[in-house]
Amino acid sequence: MAQIKSQIKRIGTNEKARQRNVAVRSRIATESKKVRIAVEKGDAKAALEALKVATRLLDKSVTSGVYARNTAARKKASLQKLVNGLAK
């Protein structure tokens, strides 16, 4: 266990950031799953709405540092590809 005051504070802030990151990743996974479910059902309107929410969350996660820029871009592209395939 750390004994230095500043290190104790760092441990606390790291834990808060970790919990926030876990929550954000979980929310993104949930919204991505909604897109996939809508695509499986063939519901284009619901898929587009879910895609819009997931894309917004991914963009926000990049600005807050949860995901790297290319990781978020890859996830958005894969979801967009599913929805585009549904439109054809």
Q: What confidence tens digit (pLDDT) does each residue in 14-64 have?
A: 999 999 999 999 999 999 999 999 999 999 999 999 999 999 999 999 999
**Global pTM?**
0.88
Instruction: Answer whether 47's CB lies under 8 Å from 86's CB.
Output: yes
Given pLDDT bands bounded at 50, 70 and 90, which one contains residue 88? low
Q: What's the distance, Cα to Cα, between the start and end of the chain in Å? A: 58
pLDDT of residue 1: 83
What own/partner pairs with CB < 8 Å and gap ≥ 24 does 61-64 have? 61/24, 61/25, 61/28, 64/24
In whole angstroms, what is the distance from residue 8 CA to residue 74 CA?
A: 37
In whole angstroms, what is the distance from residue 8 CA to residue 31 CA?
A: 35
